[in-house]
């Protein structure tokens, strides 16, 4: 399985912003020959039903991800440290109201 | 009205004629594009072509509906499904077989560029609010179709040897059908007087500049515009391809007139 037999376009990850001020969310991925076409393909695949107001596309191979082996060292330490969660503090009424 | 060679007299008749011409262009084009569904060169492009096809059919549907309202017909289906090829007013470029991907892109680009300038001018000109609202909504989608097809002309033209060759052949083949875009007949003149159409020659240069720039940027050669140009489709003189297209498009509705979506 060498790269020479792979005639598929490169893969791009697509992120969309649902509303002004909201964080971008991952929508999925598309194949495209370059960034402009990736943006257009993302629009056609993920943004044709009013999903958002802005799109990002990122070459998938540019994303650095944690591996399954990282699960222990990365995430386990949080399990027994409940004090890191903020639920022990009572939230002032004025702050609650603002939600 | 809207029988062959009938020249509209009133503003309403002129508007109906224009609505049908615009709608027929779009439904025929939309149907041709829909033939790509499941056959696109890549999944993403398959979706893109299907999207454009749906946009085209959507534009046709609202234009037909308005014509039906003005003429007192039941609905848009009357125009789409119960007229024969000779009554269709679309230009021939749009009824030609879908060809390869390069041909589909060449057609999309030339027609979207034309639609873009036409709609911009028409929105400025017309005093019919309903018509104007419709055109403004559709123009947004046309801008996208133009962008998408233009980008593909550049990539195929300036791509591989094979894609360059196919893109050039596509433009060469379709060129004799581009003359019809800018034909103006008596019905158009009446519509122009009533401000429901515009003199298309006023944006011919803009269209030409955009088309030439794009073709040249894609390292392609602009075909000779002095060649023989096809015309007459708006008056019902179509190519052999329209009849077969309509046979496929209309058979279900005609065979089962009462069919409904379940």
Dihedral angle over CA of A27, A29, A32, A34, nearest 10: 70
CA distance A27 to A51: 10
| Cβ–Cβ contact A57 with B under 8 A | no
Radius of gyration of chain A (CA): 20
Contact B151 A43 (CB under 8 A): no
Order of strands, edge to edge, in the sheet holding A25-31? A25-31, A11-17, A54-59
- Return the pLDDT at A73: 82
Q: What is the pLDDT of residues B164-212, one digit of tens each?
A: 999 999 999 999 999 999 999 999 999 999 999 999 999 999 999 999 9
- Return the pLDDT at A5: 64
Contact B48 A40 (CB under 8 A): yes
For residues B41 and B101, the answer to whether their CB atoms sit within 8 Å is: yes
Which one, of B233, B220, B201, lies nearest residue B95 by Cα? B233
Lowest-pLDDT choice from A47-51, A78-82, B79-83, B143-147:
A78-82
Q: Which of A34, A36, A44 sits opposite B44 (nearest CB)?
A: A44
* Residue B75: its H or E element: none
Dihedral angle over CA of B122, B123, B129, B130, nearest 10: 80
Q: What is the pLDDT of residues B12-43, one digit of tens each?
A: 999 999 999 999 999 999 999 999 999 998 89
Which CA distances in Å does A60 have to A38, A54, B113? Answer: 11, 19, 33
Those residues whose C-beta lies under 8 Å from the C-beta of residue B63, and which sit 6 or more positions away, are: B19, B20, B22, B23, B26, B134
Q: Which of A9, A36, A44 sits opposite B51 (nearest CB)?
A: A44
Can you give the residue ranges of every domain in chain B? 11-255
Report, in this order, helix, strand and coil percent for chain B, each rounded to 5: 70, 0, 30
Q: What is the pLDDT of residues A1-47, one digit of tens each?
A: 445 566 789 999 999 999 999 999 999 999 999 999 999 999 999 98
Q: Which of B44, B51, B151 sits opposite A31 (nearest CB)?
A: B44
For residues A54 and A16, the answer to whether their CB atoms sit within 8 Å is: yes
- Return the pLDDT at A49: 82
Which CA distances in Å does B218 have to B116, B159, B168, B205? Answer: 20, 8, 10, 20
The answer to whether residue B261 scores a pLDDT higher than 90 is no
* Residue B140: its H or E element: helix B129-157
Which one, of B54, B52, B62, B222, lies nearest residue B147 by Cα? B52
Can you give the residue ranges of every domain in chain A? 3-98
Q: Kindly report the nearest CA distance between residue A39 and chain B, in angstroms.
A: 10
Q: What is the pLDDT of residues B97-150, one digit of tens each?
A: 999 999 999 999 999 999 999 999 999 999 999 999 999 999 999 999 999 999
Q: Which of B47, B144, B151 sits opposite A37 (nearest CB)?
A: B151
CATH 1.20.1260.10 fits B11-255, yes or no: yes
Q: List the structure tokens of B240.
A: 């052999």
Q: Which superfamily is assigned to A3-98 in CATH?
A: Phenylacetic acid degradation B (3.10.20.520)
pTM of the model: 0.88
Angle between helices B204-217 and B129-157 (to 10 degrees): 20
- Return the pLDDT at A83: 75
CA distance B179 to B110: 11
- Which residues 46-65 on chain B approach chain A with CB closer than 8 angstroms? 47-48, 51
> How many C-alpha atoms does B225 have within 13 Å on its Cβ side?
10
Contact B47 A45 (CB under 8 A): yes
């Amino acid at each position: 399985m060498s790269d020479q037999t792979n005639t598929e376009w490169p893969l791009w990850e697509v992120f969309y912003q649902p509303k002004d001020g909201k964080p971008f969310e991952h929508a999925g991925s598309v194949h495209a020959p370059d960034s402009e076409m990736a943006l257009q393909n993302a629009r056609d695949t993920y943004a044709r039903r009013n999903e958002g107001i802005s799109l990002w596309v990122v070459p998938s191979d540019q994303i650095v991800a944690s591996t399954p082996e990282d699960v222990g060292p990365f995430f386990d330490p949080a399990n027994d440290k409940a004090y890191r969660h903020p639920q022990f503090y009572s939230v002032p009424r004025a702050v609650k109201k603002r939600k | 009205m809207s029988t062959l060679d009938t020249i509209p007299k009133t503003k309403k008749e002129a508007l109906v004629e224009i609505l049908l011409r615009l709608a027929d262009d779009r439904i025929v084009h939309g149907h041709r594009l829909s033939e790509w569904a499941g056959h696109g060169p890549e999944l993403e492009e398959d979706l893109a072509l299907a999207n454009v096809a749906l946009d085209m059919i959507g534009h046709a549907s609202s234009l037909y509906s308005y014509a039906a309202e003005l003429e007192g017909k039941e609905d848009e289906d009357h125009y789409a499904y119960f007229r024969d090829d000779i009554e269709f007013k679309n230009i021939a470029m749009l009824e030609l077989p879908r060809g390869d991907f390069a041909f589909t892109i060449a057609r999309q680009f030339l027609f979207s560029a034309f639609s873009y300038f036409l709609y911009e001018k028409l929105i400025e000109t017309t005093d019919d609010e309903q018509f104007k609202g419709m055109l403004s909504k559709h123009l947004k989608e046309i801008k996208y179709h133009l962008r998408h097809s233009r980008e593909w002309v550049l990539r195929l033209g300036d791509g591989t040897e094979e894609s360059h060759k196919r893109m050039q052949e596509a433009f060469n083949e379709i060129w004799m059908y581009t003359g019809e875009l800018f034909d103006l007949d008596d019905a158009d003149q009446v519509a122009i007087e009533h401000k429901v159409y515009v003199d298309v020659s006023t944006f011919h240069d803009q269209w030409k500049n955009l088309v030439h720039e794009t073709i040249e940027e894609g390292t392609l050669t602009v075909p000779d515009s002095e060649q023989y140009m096809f015309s007459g489709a708006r008056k019902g003189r179509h190519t052999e391809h329209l009849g077969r297209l309509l046979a496929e498009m209309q058979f279900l509705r005609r065979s089962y007139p009462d069919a409904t979506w379940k």
